[in-house]
Structure 1
């Protein structure tokens, strides 16, 4: 951390621009200030204080801490400050300030966010082990295991290079240590914020490098941990360094708006207060200015800005039900913009955020956004995981037994730990994490049982399957989206209802093609993990695809299309059902024509000592013969089991797929794979590969399928016709 300790001046070409007096709309209207993280300048250093008296240098921290935790025990803070000050004594920052000003500033940031005493204690000590002679054993002996764990976690994070040259395995280990206690990352983010505030004396190229790392890794992490107070200020500081011209232009827009004679936000806020007063709803109505990056984004989206674009109206109430009461009154008494309504209370964001979003239109056409939330929701919206307090505090009825338990973590961080455990290698985990951090929009889709799935924008049914079922999604056959059959490659939209259709074969395999449609780390890692663990099957999928496609110019049906669940590459029953005239060879039925007894068959040797068995009229046979491939004699054995591909054509109707699969199961057919094409003109085509205990059951199976209401034809899949030469 000492490498980033520099002079306390604002970064970028405009000194004082970010942390100075210019705050959007703040000079003229009553506004609820954001958690002010800029107040601490140079702390007074008085040295160790008498026991029982708090040093004056941490008075800022104590004041902020007591505002959130009035009954907090301050002795650990006093003790930690005394140790930190004595350990860092003589160390100076590049600006010439005593080094103790840095841990004091970091601790103040966390105190104003509402962090509990243990986190603040660790924050005061977070550089002692790295930069002084203090050891982790000393920290444990004087402050306990909890503080030692946090200090150790932050120390490890300091050794991580977050840039493009980062060692993926090192990053994974450090992130795992962080994930086991989110307070470690909270301290790291506060540490980076103070270093970003004091970046002014660094060389421009070093400022730019640190700002890019902050933008690419730490700001997305702050977003996912819900710490908006840190995230927004970090964004503004990075904006000033990496885009100084745009920053200067945005600052000028804010200055000009502050000088306006009219104030549409204040007028709407007054109107909202009047509406709620008439409805006898107790609420606090405030104005929430946009930060610099937010103003810049709005200006790029809307062009010329109006007064209402520089902030939002914030309504704070006591209970969840009051939020909806406020919403009803505003939509009744004012002119709502219905398209702007979003309910993040019923469906919270992945980072714990909850609020109602709406907008009202003024007579002059200006649209004012309104946020409605409880006081507790507002605290969590600003502080995120920091507002959770101590995740290890035992419940009163569960006395602590000295063992660490899993903390209460936001869903994204829990998934992160699952990804790193499942990732086949560190590089794959690192690339997947970077992709996920780059996705800043999320959609919510609904399950038929009323549950929800949070997915990144652009996610497909493949992603939904792995989000809901984990690795059991290998058996997914297809999906219904909003009641209509859909392929697994279908891109989902916010609010869609998704019903996933699962097969019953426990040995089902994912298709390599699914990777093309998987956008979430959970899906990509699960599929890649299976392919890595089963190289023979994965190679067989690719090998057979190449052989048939190269010889016939036709993509074989036995290589699953995107969105179709692949069947077993090595046919489990084929070995005993087909005899090959090649010693030691394993026979398997080709899925391009799926022969069954008593079809006339022939075979061809493929890589891996196997023989693929085709119907003699299959187009692939002629192509392979023309290519000089030698046939291998094959014949049906005594075993009666067989695998066959059937095509059912039907009209679209509710519950058709369920009725069809039930009819197949009643005939003893085991569905190995299925493909459902998108409906056209109210007609749909299904392709099923099924395992039958006896080939003699095939006619009865086809009759049972034809008897299903809505099905007008069932036939065996036909081999691709051989193209005629001109």
Structure 2
């Protein structure tokens, strides 16, 4: 078996067109010491060349100084593969240099393992290289397992994310570090390879996607694919090998595209870009048998934004466009800074070629994401002084606040909810779930301003995003001017107004968790429910209750109240009615809350060692209950349901009808019956209404 077959990273990088340094040769150069190449040791030559390609006037002196310290501090250390350890920070720094990272990032990258693995201290780094480099090195330094045990990995990521919130270059270094480690993961035990690959899949790849660093994200995807799905990877690799001439089909179309654009007078560079392994695999799952044009894409690079649309017009005029494949990410950029026009055209033989159209600057950002932005906190003057070139995307706004294009809504939300994550396990689980959300929407506040939320977010998420814990008192919402339930899913561009009762004594119900998509909302709701188990499910207004209460007895009393002055409330989470078997619990304010014995809240109370209060039904015949009716939408449905309820002798205290979803409608009724014995008949009568397919007792507070 070839070395490439056992180390798929080599083929993956070559297919993507990325240069790979000879680590053994660099390792020998590192061991031989500072043989000069200009002012830099030979081992730093590749880094210097890559850095100067992006920043021709950069001062390499600080890189020389950082390399000398890194090489000296790591001397005598070796990686599991046998190379001198210094080859790792060199490789990480080269990855970032090829992406166009500025000098400060490269300096910190050379030193990123010194504090963690050598005798070098942060104070020494600060004294030698300044506060910025020290901050970046500290941000990527792992927490010790001896201090944190099993929590070391999640808490290290928490620390790193907080540091990223202040300087995104921390995560740039971590992503490059993980990429090189993944390239050389073959020397590890299979179980350790799998564990590292899963964390890479669940955390690092989504972060690379959100920061727009596609060059790192795609290679990480392929490396994870090779480790976690070896059979599918081998099949895909063989498929690519069997279609080695597939590029010829795209090359023919690319020549036609060049001719069309040349005749139109549009200066453009047309390239054929092979798809990476995971992309080919996904295309196969989507389309079945792949044709030659499915193994790559055409990339058209132009000078100005307007040229992009000019190219699009020519392509759609001279070729047959596949309209369903058109997307405009220039007018509406992705949340990770990505801009491009996507389209597809069919050739004479019916083969479809996907085309990406972007400017050279868009392409740089598409590949390198936030890395291409340089130092987002430096003014134009200081950025130019540091690297010899002004940073187009950075600068100081007129109001004096630093410009920060690298602090998108998703990162701000993540930093907010992580503070409320009570333990490492909750943080780690929630982080993975949060990063699994792959799209973002923008909704507008009726009071002014915007909220960035993940796709699928509801009014519950908007409430917690806008008001934090004050959202516990949210009682409703208006979406685009219309009243809406808190479960309403928001769309991009919606206007939302949250209705709060700031004096509310109750809080969210357990059902809110099923409507919450954001981590911030889920953590806040879960925290409130855990802190208020005795009030979970209390209705907004206590119904009249014909209940007798006694304490300190295991039997059910008939008429003596042993808790003087106690107020009795029927829990809205299970809406007990006679003759349900019930139990009660004393809560704050001299109130006894009565639950059905099978209610989930009873289990929570007992788990908290709360003493149950024996209760019994009194003589009052009336009862109040909340019912749900699930139905298909049709005309006069509401009138027919209310007629059935009235015919059964029940009075409607409150009713709500949620907006139809997929032709299904949910009705919530709070009803008062003269006798609990009539409840089964009432529910049967409601189920008999045409279109109604289910009627059930409420398990949470009704919306009145």
1:540 pairs, out of 535, 540, 552, with 535
Render the CA deviation track for 1:343-390: whole Å, top value 9, x for unaligned. 222332222222222222223332221112222221111112211211
Q: Is the 8 A contact 1:247 1:292 kept in 2?
A: yes
Q: Is the 8 A contact 2:71 2:86 kept in 1?
A: yes
TM-superposed deviation, 1:242: 2.3
Aligned twin of 2:658: 677
| Distance change in 2, residues 1:392/1:448 (3 Å) | closer
Aligned twin of 1:312: 297
Render the CA deviation track for 1:681-724: whole Å, top value 9, x for unaligned. 9999999xxxxxxxxxxxxxxxxxxxxxxxxxxxx975256442
Structure 2 Cα separation of the partners of residues 69 and 393 of structure 1: 16
Which stretch shifts more, 474-483 or 177-186?
474-483
Please say if 1:301 is aligned against 2:286. yes
Structure 1 Cα separation of the partners of residues 572 and 6 of structure 2: 70
Q: Is the 8 A contact 1:35 1:112 kept in 2?
A: no
Structure 2 Cα separation of the partners of residues 304 and 681 of structure 1: 34
Q: Is the 8 A contact 2:23 2:87 kept in 1?
A: no
1:463 pairs, out of 452, 461, 464, with 461
Compute the TM-score of the two structures, normalised by the length of structure 1.
0.69
| Distance change in 2, residues 1:326/1:472 (3 Å) | farther
Aligned twin of 2:496: 500
Q: Is the 8 A contact 1:335 1:361 kept in 2?
A: yes
Q: Is the 8 A contact 2:116 2:142 kept in 1?
A: no
Aligned twin of 1:113: 99
Aligned twin of 2:433: 435
Please say if 1:75 is aligned against 2:61. yes
1:286 pairs, out of 245, 261, 271, with 271
TM-superposed deviation, 1:590: 9.6
Structure 2 Cα separation of the partners of residues 10 and 183 of structure 1: 37
Q: Which SS does the other structure have where 1:82 is aligned?
A: helix
Please say if 1:186 is aligned against 2:172. yes
Please say if 1:377 is aligned against 2:377. no
Aligned twin of 2:586: 607
Structure 2 Cα separation of the partners of residues 414 and 56 of structure 1: 42
Which stretch shifts more, 461-470 or 313-322?
461-470
| Distance change in 2, residues 1:628/1:87 (3 Å) | closer
Structure 1 Cα separation of the partners of residues 12 and 673 of structure 2: 74
TM-superposed deviation, 1:263: 2.5
TM-superposed deviation, 1:161: 12
| Distance change in 2, residues 1:417/1:684 (3 Å) | closer
Q: Is the 8 A contact 1:295 1:309 kept in 2?
A: yes
Q: Which SS does the other structure have where 2:125 is aligned?
A: helix
Q: Is the 8 A contact 1:677 1:686 kept in 2?
A: yes
Which stretch shifts more, 200-209 or 332-341?
200-209
Which stretch shifts more, 167-176 or 136-145?
167-176
- Count of residue pairs brought into register by the alignment: 584
Structure 1 Cα separation of the partners of residues 665 and 439 of structure 2: 31
Aligned twin of 2:255: 270
Render the CA deviation track for 1:279-311: whole Å, top value 9, x for unaligned. 333222212211111111111221111111111
Please say if 1:14 is aligned against 2:5. yes
After superposition, residues 36-47 of structure 1 pair within 5 angstroms as 36=19, 42-43=25-26, 44-45=29-30, 46-47=32-33
| Distance change in 2, residues 1:517/1:37 (3 Å) | farther
Structure 1 Cα separation of the partners of residues 664 and 170 of structure 2: 56
Aligned twin of 1:409: 407
1:444 pairs, out of 413, 425, 441, with 441
Please say if 1:60 is aligned against 2:23. no
Render the CA deviation track for 1:594-619: whole Å, top value 9, x for unaligned. xxxxxxxxxx99732546999xxxxx
Aligned twin of 2:603: none
Q: Is the 8 A contact 1:91 1:98 kept in 2?
A: yes
Q: Which SS does the other structure have where 2:186 is aligned?
A: coil
Structure 2 Cα separation of the partners of residues 207 and 263 of structure 1: 37
| Distance change in 2, residues 1:395/1:65 (3 Å) | closer
| Distance change in 2, residues 1:443/1:110 (3 Å) | closer
Q: Which SS does the other structure have where 1:281 is aligned?
A: coil
Which stretch shifts more, 328-337 or 444-453?
444-453
Q: Is the 8 A contact 2:34 2:42 kept in 1?
A: no
Aligned twin of 2:553: none
Q: Which SS does the other structure have where 1:542 is aligned?
A: coil
- Any stretches of 5+ residues in structure 1 without a counterpart? 1-8, 25-32, 553-579, 593-603, 615-626, 633-651, 653-672, 688-715
| Distance change in 2, residues 1:185/1:550 (3 Å) | farther
* RMSD between aligned residues: 4.5
Compute the TM-score of the two structures, normalised by the length of structure 2.
0.71
Q: Which SS does the other structure have where 2:33 is aligned?
A: coil
Q: Is the 8 A contact 2:534 2:585 kept in 1?
A: no
Which stretch shifts more, 102-111 or 519-528?
519-528
Structure 1 Cα separation of the partners of residues 494 and 474 of structure 2: 13
Structure 2 Cα separation of the partners of residues 218 and 317 of structure 1: 32
Q: Which SS does the other structure have where 2:64 is aligned?
A: helix
Please say if 1:719 is aligned against 2:679. no
TM-superposed deviation, 1:119: 0.9
Q: Which SS does the other structure have where 2:517 is aligned?
A: coil
- Any stretches of 5+ residues in structure 2 without a counterpart? 383-394, 548-560, 574-582, 595-614, 621-633, 635-653, 682-704
Structure 2 Cα separation of the partners of residues 61 and 680 of structure 1: 57
Q: Which SS does the other structure have where 2:133 is aligned?
A: helix
Aligned twin of 2:417: 419
Render the CA deviation track for 1:247-287: whole Å, top value 9, x for unaligned. 12111111122135x73322322232233233333222212
Structure 2 Cα separation of the partners of residues 306 and 549 of structure 1: 72
Please say if 1:87 is aligned against 2:73. yes
After superposition, residues 206-285 of structure 1 pair within 5 angstroms as 206-260=192-246, 263-285=248-270
1:520 pairs, out of 515, 518, 523, with 518
TM-superposed deviation, 1:335: 1.8
Which stretch shifts more, 498-507 or 264-273?
498-507
Which stretch shifts more, 320-329 or 155-164?
155-164
1:339 pairs, out of 324, 336, 344, with 324
Structure 1 Cα separation of the partners of residues 662 and 358 of structure 2: 47
Structure 1 Cα separation of the partners of residues 228 and 562 of structure 2: 70
Structure 2 Cα separation of the partners of residues 404 and 447 of structure 1: 23
Render the CA deviation track for 1:374-429: whole Å, top value 9, x for unaligned. 22221111112211211332455999xxx997954343222221121244554433
After superposition, residues 579-598 of structure 1 pair within 5 angstroms as 585=566
TM-superposed deviation, 1:215: 2.2
Q: Which SS does the other structure have where 1:90 is aligned?
A: coil
Render the CA deviation track for 1:19-50: whole Å, top value 9, x for unaligned. 149955xxxxxxxx655455665312341367
Structure 2 Cα separation of the partners of residues 130 and 350 of structure 1: 34
